[in-house]
Amino acid sequence: MEQAEVSREVNTLLTADGGLNEASKRSVKSLEAAIAKSRQPGYFKYYTPSDATRAVETKNVLSAKVARLAELQKRVDAKQAQLDSARREAAKPTAAVDVPDLRRWFARYDRPAPAFGGEGAATTFSASRRVFGGTKHYPGFRSVASDMRPGRALR
């Protein structure tokens, strides 16, 4: 809340009618016009900002508010870091559970679902028919791998 208020104040200082942005633009335009006019005889009247704008510039009000915003952001970042570390602590695994054998493991966590088929499932292995290589100079060779094919056992 406080950060939003300070941010609004900074925005008001910058964008208000006759604010710092407008004063800066007018000063730059005035200097550009003075440079162009310097080749001609006569006097050029430079832009002078309003008393309120001059007071803000001399007292460094904007710098103080920006520093306050940075301080508030540091506090927000520190709170965010605390929340992140608390979340990480909560997400850490709990203490190791003593499960000395599979019987107790299955009693605690239940049996896993069968990976393939369950009852009546069968897997067959057949020699691979793949032939590698074979050029004019070197003969090809058969693969020593075997192909695995899942299937069903019939009764």
Mean pLDDT in residue range 113-138: 80
Helix pair angle (61-91, 2-15), 10° resolution: 150
According to DSSP, residue 40 is labeled S
Residue-wise over 19-50: b if at least 16 C-beta within 10 A, else e? bbebbeebeeeeeeeeeeeeeeeeeeeeeebe
Is residue 52 scored above 70 in pLDDT? yes
In percent, how much of the chain has pLDDT > 70?
95
Mean pLDDT in residue range 89-111: 83
47 vs 118, higher pLDDT:
47
Ranges of each domain in the chain:
2-91, 102-152
Q: What angle do CA 110, 114, 115 make, to 5 degrees?
A: 125
Looking at every residue in the chain, the average pLDDT score rounds to: 87
Which pLDDT band, with edges at 50, 70 and 90, does 8 fall under?
Answer: very high
Q: Tell me how far the alpha carbon of residue 123 is from its chain's centroid.
A: 47
Enter the tokens of residue 114: 């069968």
CA distances from 68 to 10, 51, 55, 61, 75 (A): 10, 24, 19, 11, 11
pTM to 2 decimal places: 0.51
Mean pLDDT in residue range 66-91: 93
In percent, how much of the chain has pLDDT > 90?
34
Which pLDDT band, with edges at 50, 70 and 90, does 130 fall under?
Answer: confident
119 vs 141, higher pLDDT:
141
